[in-house]
Amino acid sequence: MSVNIRALAAKCTYGVIDKGRSLADELPRLQDQVEGKDKGLLQELCYGVLRHLPELEHSVRQLMKKPLVGKQRVCHFLLLVGIYQIKYTRVPDHAAVSETVAAAIKLKSPHLKGVINGVLRNYQRQSKDQNQDDLPDAVIYNHPGWFIKKLQAAYPDAWQDILLANQEKPPMWLRVHQKHHSVNEYLEKLSSAEITHSYIDEKSGAIALQQAVDIHRLPGFTDGHVSIQDGAAQQAAYLLDCQSGDKVLDCCAAPGGKTCHILEHTCDLESVTAIDVEQERLQRVQENLERLQLSANVLVGDAAQPDSWWDGQLYDRILLDAPCSGTGVIRRHPDIKWLRKASDIDKLTKLQQQILTSTWSLLKPGGTLLYATCSILPEENIQQIEEFLINTPDAELLPLTSNADDIGWQILPNDNSMDGFYYAKLLKTKSTD
């Protein structure tokens, strides 16, 4: 029985938006049903619908008197898939329409074929004439209104740039395992494989490719010579600045990219302990360590409750990659826009505060803690650290930028092609008693 890619895309986006499921969970399960280029097309359709959801919904509302509800609801998402194809992909319009109409049969709604065909044909005819004036910001920028308001307050001169950056497809970043090759040596290998790069971060040596490639085309990937990791995330190991003999803790470590980078970056560490609250997520950490031929203590543990896993030995360095809104990585995970709610932010800041306080107690005097999030919201970042400094007499903020007034380092989406990220480095001052 043949598989209809549009039907799978409708099921996937329906599962995310109406059922609140993660795109990272829904998409791979459905991609297993297709092969070759169809995997890429399915991903393009799902990501595209989620990136442009408000404008696609607006178009459907203009073309239908009554929305599809109940058992027909999945076909509403089929309409979104169809309109996205017509507006944003190279799929010929006739093929986009015919395949989308045929998908109604796969979704057990053959009686809706005429409706779907009519809506898509009308969209083709009317799309050039649709009035785009007086649309709300949520439709213009394809983000939820609450998030737009937060950005307008936090970044009055940059909020539009952030929203536009979130709509772009992110670059593929590489992290070279420099115990095997220098960055320049690996660039030569990329050139030999006819893989071109567009940017190299001077501090970390992170490489951004001009175009994403299959990981198996990357020289030495299977042997652990290179990893996939965004340029912003690659700053962590350098900012943590571990020294030989250090005892290191990586909190909320899954999927393990930063754990591995710490081990790659510094030789002769006493130990690296990677904890995460979910056993299943720690499997990814273990897989990454094994591919890179690295070793760490991998433990199930709640960073907010160290008594359940901590052995009582203080750490020289702690990386706290705190649970956060993920608002800096929307371009990689467009479902964040629709799964995250305004009410989540207050809950997250309370959790971050609890974890930060708990892990601080595990740090040696003279040690450093690097606080990190993939968020761009001040409540989770600058304001979080400001409050911690007020309430923690033995915490001293170490500068990360050339501006002495900066509270940490806020990277915004697409700064040097990187994801949105935040870092603050804290020194635990030694007692003067």
Structure confidence at residue 131 (pLDDT): 59
Structure confidence at residue 244 (pLDDT): 96
Say which CATH topology domain 5-135 has.
Answer: N-utilizing Substance Protein B Homolog; Chain A (1.10.940)
Structure confidence at residue 2 (pLDDT): 66
Give the separation between CA 13 and CA 281, rounded to whole angstroms. 24
Give yes or no for a contact between 428 and 346, defined as CB atoms under 8 angstroms apart.
no
Question: Which backbone phi and psi does 365 adopt, to 5 degrees?
Answer: -60, 130
Give the CATH H-level superfamily of domain 235-428. Answer: Vaccinia Virus protein VP39 (3.40.50.150)
Structure confidence at residue 1 (pLDDT): 45
CA neighbor of 259 nearest in space, from 268, 250, 269: 250
User: Looking at the annotation, which residues are catalytic?
Assistant: 374
Spell out the alpha helix ranges (H) of 167-230. Answer: 183-192
Per DSSP, the residues of 79-106 read HHHHHHHHHHSSS-HHHHHHHHHHHHHH
Half-sphere exposure of 175 (CA within 13 A, CB side): 27
Name the class of domain 173-228: alpha beta
Measure CA 408 to chain center.
21
Q: Let me know if the fold of 5-135 is the same as that of 235-428.
A: no
Span 339-358, pLDDT tens digits: 999 999 999 999 999 999 99
Instruction: Output the six-digit token pair for 359.
Output: 């892990």
Span 177-223, pLDDT tens digits: 999 999 999 999 999 999 999 999 988 999 999 999 999 999 999 99
* pTM of model > 0.85: yes
pLDDT along the chain (433 residues), means of 10: 87 98 96 91 97 97 92 97 96 95 96 96 79 84 98 98 97 96 96 96 94 95 97 97 97 96 95 95 96 96 95 97 98 98 97 98 98 98 98 97 94 96 96 55
The residue extents of the domains of the chain are 5-135, 173-228, 235-428
Question: Which backbone phi and psi does 337 adopt, to 5 degrees?
Answer: -60, -35
